[in-house]
Structure 1
Amino acid sequence: MMDTGSSDLWVSSGQKARMRFTNTTDIPVNITYDIGSASGVIDFAEFTLGGYHVSSQVFLNINQKVDLPAFTEDNLDGVFGLSFSRLSVANVALQRAWGNDTTLGRTALSNIFAHNSSIPNFITFLLGRLDDPDDIADGVFTIGEYADGYQDVEKAPKLSRFPPQLPVWGTLLDAMHVNGEAHTWKSVVPSLVHSVPNITVPEGKAISVLDCGTTLPLLPSDAVDFIYGKIPGAISLNKTWIVPCSSSVNLTFTLGGQEYPIHPLDLTIISPQTFADGKNRTICMNSYQAGDSNVTLADAMLGMGFLRNVYASFNFGAKAANGTITVEPFIQLLSTVDTDKMQADFIKSRREALAQFPPEATLDQVKAEFASDDDDRDGRDSGSGESLLADGSGSDTSKVLDKINKFGPVVLGLLVGNAVIGLLLCMLAIASAVRAGRAVGPMRTINPSYAPVATKGLDMEDERYRD
């Protein structure tokens, strides 16, 4: 699987018979993810990706994995890290063992760029949507070139990283509109980040991080309420919104002065539940989550629920031969949503998806479920979470919903599993047209044929590839 949130190439030791080793060491390594870890030793082997070849590439020969179920349940054999060498566990370990001047710890992606100097220093992503019956789950991943039909991303606004001190793909979020009404942002990042001084967020804007490893986007709770509070019949308890499955709103985010609409399919999650009466019913919940306590480096974490709506180019910038920075890192986004067709597509796709689940619970059934005093399934009281009714109903329902919170743990589980879910669902593809050593211009394109792989996140160190 591909992982833009780490830098190392690692392979499970069970695959060593399929590898052509060029060197071995006894240097121990451990790589830790948001959830889970892997450990082993550093080795070297030949590496080939499409038409690109590295004669001796460092990798982590992993013999132990902890809390990484994707590698046992989905027959995945390793990770291809796509971040910078300075974030690489192998690179740091080799510099400690063999000196800071060694370049043997460079990442596979860094070696590809170094051995093919004509390739521009960017990668691109087009993510598939697994919950749309009419959509193919495959996506596109490219190195130094644009997918066929998406070349206009090069004309999109260049989103500078903000704040530049932080080694993440953060940028300023200009605005968020729901049904044409603007949400008022008030950034809280300066009060959360104490290690990075002098962060001044322009008034009315917020810091957002574009991270495809975050399955469910995270926003401030008031922004989440602003979105789902405008859906008739939606109810909220303890920051979990229960939404009529066939209802939606027109949500857009503005970055770099460009508005990006969100497909309604990315606003809610279909979730079958067993109610207290023993009957199975389906509810839909908010996919944009309240992340006030989860996000400390940004106001918003725009994960897959946002990135599925754009073709994204992440440019690492460049350095001259003397090390001078000539191009700062930047992001470019091209909307992939057809606003004229998205509502009809949502209704059709959601109807087909719901046909595969138990009947949808009515609002009265949901209210009755929350009102039940018999909560044997989880044995917990609801606490004192505030309930909101988007349809403007009176306080009686609020009192009912305050009594218990049965569906909250479902969303909590989704949040805890973000890293693993991202590994499984952030489906990309390697284009077979890539050729090693071929001259690449700034507008070079490919015709993608897909071999699905996956990625976890996108956290880049403040380092640029050379020209």
Structure 2
Amino acid sequence: MFAPASLTALLFILLSQDVSGAPTASTAVVGRSMPIRRLNPLSRNLTLVAQRARNQRDLLAVKYSGQSLQQRGTGYNLIVNQETDTGYYGTIAIGTPPVSYDVILDTGSSDLWLTSSTCGASCGTSPTYDPAMSSTFQNLSTPFEIQYGSGAVAGYVAEETVQMAGFSVAKQGFGVVDALSSAFNTNPVSGIMGLAWSSLSSTQQTPFWQTLASDGSWDSALFGVQLTRYGNVSGAAQNEPGGVIDMGYTNSSLYTGSIEYHDLVGTPQYWEINMSELTVQGNSIDIAGISTAIIDTGTTDIAGPASAIASIYAQIPGSQAGTGQLEGYYTYPCSTTVNVQFNFGGNTWSMSPADFTHSQASTTECIGAFFISSIGQGGPSWVIGDAFLKNVYSVFKYSPASVGFAALSETAIAQNGVKAAVPSPTIGAVTAVTGTVSSGALSSRPLSILLCFWLASTSIAFLFW
């Protein structure tokens, strides 16, 4: 049974947010919210955890290293370990008539892609997109391919009508994947929606969010994200409420005080900002002055330079550097409460000790959420993922291009660990339409999209628990 306070908080959330995306009585263009669904890990086998940790480490290098890789939709990397059920994902509706698909929502990449019905057994058992079933499909006949350390995805670029959170974009460019390495098989996820900037797009298409932010479809040209925490909850179900993404506005019920914004570094590509200070157990960690950090919802943990990561664990007695598949990670006594604080040039933001634990290696030893980045030269100093983002309300702003943080409200905090049913996606009418939509493209039923950032609780972009 729910505790009275938790039930009250949940009722307040339901009353304060439009989870269906259905039109409201107002004629003005408004923002919309999508609930986030979280997948919980199904296994805590150490060998499997170590393998996922290794993949997370290796795939991070592919995602962020070098200019040649930056032009690839490396957010696809997030799919590699999706079968570990340790992420947040959401649902979009695509085509005419619209069909819903679960996708990873990733601020660290910029492409939308779905597996195709022609993909065959290599695409696993997740639902696949069938172009023949949609009257608004248009094949642009432009091939694309993404190569990763553990496999590849390939296909062609097309255009379709895409709906999400009560908004619709006609002729949205996306990738139709008809060849997929087995490492990418991930049920129930059918693809990924990148939420970074168009300059990173491997398909050379404008991301869904950027179209809406730039053409006035949103009241405010930004989107906000709140993620829930279940990593420290025993007996959590496979699917749990994961939080929310607010498109076109910030939800004041989920944060307190003001939002502290930080301008992006250089020309917008990733959501990259300066990080000025990091403390662990009250001690300052040498981060070589001001370092840059990418704010990445598609990364579970936090990656940083080897020297800084070593300094972090030096503050924790009993810590040891990992070897083999755990190379780049550290273990530490689970009995130790680790307090971490970040500063990006303004307020100091604390991270819950529960989020410092990536996973448990034994009854007494835990794997830390901070690990050594393998990005190398040309990449960011830090990649800040969900281990931190669960502790703040995050805002991604189109103009001026910036990332904002605000303290979570009691309403938001009360959602952590609450065992409740997750909403189901429905398909239907939208409140704002961009581009030309063919007659009959939209049905009359409300569009309810589940947005889910994968990885809640412990793991990184390839979510590893």
Q: Residue 250 of structure 1 aligns with which residue? A: 339
Instruction: Give the partner amino acid of 1:49.
Output: M
Instruction: Give the partner amino acid of 1:157.
Output: E
Q: Residue 44 of structure 1 aligns with which residue? A: 159
Shift of 1:256: 2.3
Shift of 1:261: 0.6
Q: Residue 263 of structure 1 aligns with which residue? A: 352
Secondary structure at the counterpart of residue 213 of structure 1: coil
Instruction: Give the partner amino acid of 1:133.
Output: V
Query: Retained in 1: the 8 A contact 2:154–2:179?
Result: yes
Q: Residue 437 of structure 1 aligns with which residue? A: 432
Q: How does 1:63-462 map to 2 (within 5 A)?
A: 63-66=178-181, 68-69=183-184, 72-91=185-204, 105-113=205-213, 116-133=216-233, 136-150=240-254, 152=256, 155-162=258-265, 164-165=266-267, 167-186=269-288, 204-236=289-321, 240-272=329-361, 283-291=365-373, 294=376, 296-317=378-399, 327=400, 329-336=401-408, 436-437=431-432, 451-454=450-453
Shift of 1:237: 5.6
Q: Residue 113 of structure 2 aligns with which residue? A: 10
Instruction: Give the partner amino acid of 1:19.
Output: S
Shift of 1:247: 1.3
Distance 1:20 1:285 in 2: 50
Instruction: Give the partner amino acid of 1:271.
Output: Q
Structure 2 CA distance for partners of 1:334 and 1:12, relative to 1, 3 Å:
same
Distance 2:405 2:423 in 1: 17
Shift of 1:58: 2.7
Q: Residue 76 of structure 2 aligns with which residue? A: none
Distance 1:12 1:332 in 2: 33
Structure 2 CA distance for partners of 1:26 and 1:297, relative to 1, 3 Å:
closer
Structure 2 CA distance for partners of 1:33 and 1:334, relative to 1, 3 Å:
farther
1:59 is the counterpart of 2:179: no
Alignment TM-score, normalising by the size of structure 2: 0.57
* Larger RCO, structures 1/2 (Cα 8 Å, 6+ apart): 2
Instruction: Give the partner amino acid of 1:287.
Output: A
Distance 1:434 1:126 in 2: 25
1:26 is the counterpart of 2:141: yes
Distance 1:121 1:35 in 2: 37
Secondary structure at the counterpart of residue 203 of structure 2: helix
Shift of 1:18: 4.9
Cα offsets for 1:363-417 (capped at 9, x unmatched): xxxxxxxxxxxxxxxxxxxxxxxxxxxxxxxxxxxxxxxxxxxxxxxxxxxxxxx
Distance 2:453 2:423 in 1: 6
Q: Residue 323 of structure 1 aligns with which residue? A: none
Cα offsets for 1:65-124 (capped at 9, x unmatched): 12552xx33132222232333433333xxxxxxxxxxxxx44333333455445322122
Distance 2:450 2:370 in 1: 29
Query: Retained in 2: the 8 A contact 1:310–1:334?
Result: yes
Structure 2 CA distance for partners of 1:249 and 1:432, relative to 1, 3 Å:
farther
RMSD across aligned positions (CA): 4.0
Consecutive unaligned residues of structure 2, counting only runs of 5 or more, are 1-102, 118-128, 434-447
Query: Retained in 2: the 8 A contact 1:122–1:313?
Result: yes
> How many pairs were matched up?
315
Distance 2:364 2:222 in 1: 42
Distance 1:115 1:30 in 2: 30
Query: Retained in 2: the 8 A contact 1:175–1:254?
Result: yes
Consecutive unaligned residues of structure 1, counting only runs of 5 or more, are 92-104, 187-203, 274-280, 318-326, 350-426, 439-448, 459-467
Secondary structure at the counterpart of residue 246 of structure 1: coil
Query: Retained in 2: the 8 A contact 1:138–1:450?
Result: no
Larger radius of gyration, structure 1 or 2? Answer: 1
Instruction: Give the partner amino acid of 1:141.
Output: I
Cα offsets for 1:324-352 (capped at 9, x unmatched): xxx3x1111123398xx99xxx9xx9xxx
Shift of 1:55: 3.4
Distance 2:342 2:423 in 1: 23
Structure 2 CA distance for partners of 1:18 and 1:143, relative to 1, 3 Å:
farther
Distance 2:275 2:429 in 1: 34
Instruction: Give the partner amino acid of 1:255.
Output: F
Distance 1:18 1:291 in 2: 43
Shift of 1:40: 1.6
Secondary structure at the counterpart of residue 310 of structure 2: helix
Query: Retained in 1: the 8 A contact 2:111–2:175?
Result: yes
Alignment TM-score, normalising by the size of structure 1: 0.57
Shift of 1:263: 0.6
Instruction: Give the partner amino acid of 1:331.
Output: V
Distance 1:247 1:434 in 2: 51
Secondary structure at the counterpart of residue 29 of structure 1: strand
Shift of 1:284: 0.9
Structure 2 CA distance for partners of 1:175 and 1:337, relative to 1, 3 Å:
farther
Structure 2 CA distance for partners of 1:3 and 1:303, relative to 1, 3 Å:
closer
Shift of 1:53: 2.2
Secondary structure at the counterpart of residue 312 of structure 2: helix
Secondary structure at the counterpart of residue 112 of structure 1: helix
Shift of 1:282: 5.8
Query: Retained in 2: the 8 A contact 1:261–1:335?
Result: no
